[in-house]
Amino acid sequence: MDDKQKLEAALGLLERIGASLDDILYVAEVGSTAHGAGVGDDDLDMAVIRMEKWEELVYPGAKGGSVHLRTQEGNKRSGPGDVDLQVVTLRRYSELMMKGNPSIISIMSSRLVYHFNTRAKRTLLSISDGCRSKKAAWSFYHYMENQVRRWENGEGRKVNRPELVEKFGFDTKYAYHALRLGFQGIEYIKTGMISMPIPEPERSFLVDVRNGAVTESAALKIASDRKDEMRALIESSILPDASKLDEVTSSVCRFYRSWYS
């Protein structure tokens, strides 16, 4: 797909929830290709930040703020040509950024951007800047720690990719995700941001892992080492302890007032 087709695919899925381009603040690709570690058989993972309708903000019973839309039906695995779309409202995006959710942080780091509402640009960037913190860094650490623990316990073999386990002896895509969190977490702690695509030599190493060119024991050892390194870096980091709540809240509130006025 070219960029236009990718945006059209996202908009087609957004019609299911009654959203249109007028409601959309940001559309970007966030999967393995955006990270620079695609191997040619990936589905298209995209993320959307949308503006809430007025009723969603004021209705007392309104819930949610995030939804996952797919071209594939039910629990069937996505494959090449399929689209997976993560959709978050501006408020939910802000909440998850303040918690340091790695998947949400990657949205504004992607270079594969297919729509960016000019009115929202300053606000989205200010949220990203205001949420850089040790709290977010710890989120990277805990996400990776959980992945590595499941990997060490053999639970990573139970995911829905038996063909990789049969071919390589372990789920190489699971290993890739755990290692990616480690590399990006370390970069985030050092710089307050993550690079997409992932810089070399880490990018080529991750592709090798996905292609089964790295043994499981070697990959697991590096993952464990990066996890320990991440913890030590967080404890000595100069990042602020938490997000700048007042600044982020003020920026979001100003945007809401401007949007609905």
Can you list the domains of the chain with their CATH numbers? Answer: 3-121 (3.30.460.10), 134-235 (no CATH)
**Region at 204 (left for phi over 0; alpha for psi -120 to 50; beta for the rest):** alpha
Residue 30 φ/ψ, nearest 5 degrees: -135, 5
Tell me what the mean pLDDT of segment 7-23 comes to.
Answer: 93
Short-list 95, 106, 184, CA closest to 131? 95
In this prediction, residue 63 carries a pLDDT of 64
**What is the number of other CB atoms lying within 10 angstroms of the CB of residue 191?**
11
pTM of the model: 0.90
Give me the chain's average pLDDT, please: 91
Beta-strand relationship, 44-50 and 24-29: antiparallel
Per-residue pLDDT tens for 166-207?
999 999 999 999 999 999 999 999 998 999 999 999 999 999
The pLDDT of residue 22 is above 80: yes
Question: To 10 degrees, the CA torsion angle through 162, 165, 168, 171?
Answer: 100
